[in-house]
Structure formats: C-alpha cells, structure tokens
Structure 1
C-alpha cells in the first residue's frame, strides 16, 4: 500500500513539474504590450505528409486562439522531405478545417528556428505586439532568437495562448525534458520570467 501511494505521489510530482516548467517557459521574454496591431507567428514542425500533422494542427489551433485584436497570422516553415511547405499545410488547415478568415501570411523557406525568426522579421516591423506560438520551450527559444537578432522587436513580444493548464498534461513531463535539452544554449537571462512593465510608445 505504501509503495503504491509513493508511486502515485511521485507520478503526481512529475506531472506538476512538467506543468510548472511549461508554465514558466510560456511567461519568459514577454512584456505587457500595447497598441492596436499584432502578429501571431505560428512555427511549423517537420511534416513530410501531405496534410498538417497532429503537432502542426495543435499549433494552428493555439495560434488562432491567440488572435486578440487587429491581427495577421504568419505561418512559418519550409518544405520537409520534398513535400509541401509546413507554412502552406498549416494555412490550409486553418482555412479549410478551422474556417479562419483572418489575414494570413506565409513564410515558407525556413528549415530551422533561427531561420524562422530571420525570415519573419520583415513581416513584423509595423506591428505593435508580437506573439510566437509553439510548444512553450520552442516558443521561448524563438523569442530568445528574436531578442538576439532584433532586440527592438523583442520589446514587442507578448504572451500567446499556447499554454493552458491541463492541456497535454500527461506528455508535459516529456516536453519538459526535451525543452531542457533544446534550451541548453540559452543564457540565464533568457530563461527568466519577464517582469510585467508598461512598454514605452514608439515615436511616430
């Protein structure tokens, strides 16, 4: 009985740990954000099949539910294994299945997260708020890359709706382990939860 109780407690602890880490990552390198325009950048995942796979479908749904104001949704990701670009597959899913009729832009040349950010920067110059959507660790990595490439644009980063308590709960420990590995190159300051602060207005 004690052994079973101990296993249950340990299992619950692992789930709480995975939940906490993903929660923390979703709140790093973001600010309050002000303004009337925003861009939601949805990062693609390798997708050799002819339709959006499970992970890309979830990322699209998270991107659509992140839309708040006058928003453009940017799908970012190139072709995998000679198939269609991830960006195209995600956009098709958003329009044909989710019936999203908002503004959509495609960035279909990227093969890495660094390239995702490099290639979407021209599409972000004129917006007030930027949301990057993926699994929390991956989205944090992308925000850190934007901070390295364009710190002025990184000041416009705000939270996306890609973390929700209880969503993916059973796999969040695995996502947390993978996230710790993929974020190993980030500096300590790029992992900290951002202090909520008013953003200064850009000069007109």
Structure 2
C-alpha cells in the first residue's frame, strides 16, 4: 500500500511539474501590445505524410483559438514550414487542415521554405513588419524558443509579442512531463533574461 501511495504521489508531482513548466514557458517573453492588426504565426512540425499530423493539427487548433475575436478581421494567420520529405510543405498541410476541418475563413499566409525554427522566424519577419501584435503558436517550449529567436533577430518586432492561447490547464496533461523534459533540453541555449515570465 505504501508503495502505491508513493507511486501516486510521484505521478501527481510529475504532472504538476509538467503543468507548471508549460505554464511558465507560455508566459515568457510576451507583453501586452495593443493595436488592431495582429499576426498569429503557426510553426510546423516535421510532417512526411499527405495530411497534417497530430502535432501540427494541435498547433493549428491553438493558433485558431488564439485569434482575438475583437481583432478577427485584422488578423492574419501565418503558417510556416517547408516540405520535409519531398511532399507538400508543412505550411500548406496546416492551412488545408485549418480551412477544411476547422472551417477557418480568415486571412491565411503561407511561408513554405523553412526547415528549422530559426528559419521559421527569419522567413516570417517580412510578413510581420506592419502588424501591431504578434502571437506564436506551438507547444509552449517551442513557442518560447521562437520568441527568443525573434528577439535576437529583430528586437523591435519582439516588443510586439503577446501570448498565444497555447496553454490550457489539463490539456495534454499526461504527456506534459515528457514535453517539459524535452523543452528543458531544447531551451538550454536560452539566456536567463529570455526565460523571464510576464504575468
């Protein structure tokens, strides 16, 4: 009985830790810029099949729910990601899913050349020059990495970063500890001030 209690406590602690880290990452390097023109950048994940995979489908859903209802007419959703195995670009697959499955009828822009997160940011910068608010939709750790890259490449545009709706308590709860471990690994190159949480 004591063993099972210990296992249950350890499991609960791991789930809470995963939730906490993902919550923190979703709130780092964001501000509260105003303005009518908004861009939601959706980062693709390697997608060798002919339709959007599970991770890309989740990222698209997170992006669509990040569109501010009050700014919907002034929002463009930028799907970013190139082809990974000779098939369609991730950007195209995500846009197709947004339109055909989620019935998204807003403004869509494709950036279909990127193969890395750094390239995602480099290649979407020309599409962000005239916006007032920028949201980056992905898993929280990955989105934070992309925000840090925007801050390094264009600190003036990084001032326009606001939080995307990429974190919901309990969503993906069972795998959040694994996402947290993976996130810690991928975020090792970030500086302390690039992890600062904005409440």
TM range (shorter): over 0.9
Matched, 1:143 2:143: no
Q: How many residues align?
A: 195
Which structure has more helix as a fraction of its residues? 2
Give the equivalent residue in structure 2 for 1:79: 83
Matched, 1:96 2:105: no
Q: TM-score, normalised by structure 2?
A: 0.97
- Residue 6 (structure 1) shift: 1.2
- Residue 51 (structure 1) shift: 0.5
- Residue 83 (structure 1) shift: 0.9
The runs of 5 or more residues in structure 2 that have no matched partner are none
Give the equivalent residue in structure 1 for 2:119: 115
Q: TM-score, normalised by structure 1?
A: 0.95
RMSD (Å), alpha carbons: 0.6
- Determine the C-alpha separation between the residues in 2 that align with 1:156 and 1:94: 25
SS of 1:87's equivalent in the other structure is helix
Give the equivalent residue in structure 2 for 1:33: 33
Matches within 5 A, 1:164-179: 164-179=168-183
Give the equivalent residue in structure 2 for 1:202: none
- Residue 33 (structure 1) shift: 1.4
Give the equivalent residue in structure 1 for 2:51: 51
- Determine the C-alpha separation between the residues in 2 that align with 1:114 and 1:37: 24
- Alignment match of 1:185 (pick from 171, 177, 189): 189
- Determine the C-alpha separation between the residues in 2 that align with 1:55 and 1:78: 15
- Residue 129 (structure 1) shift: 0.3
Give the equivalent residue in structure 2 for 1:64: 64
- Determine the C-alpha separation between the residues in 2 that align with 1:51 and 1:11: 34
- Deviation string 1:33-87 (CA, Å, 9 cap, x unpaired) is 1111100000000000000001000100100000011210000000011110000
- Residue 91 (structure 1) shift: 0.3
The runs of 5 or more residues in structure 1 that have no matched partner are 197-204
- Deviation string 1:156-188 (CA, Å, 9 cap, x unpaired) is 000000110000000000000000000000001
- Determine the C-alpha separation between the residues in 2 that align with 1:113 and 1:78: 11
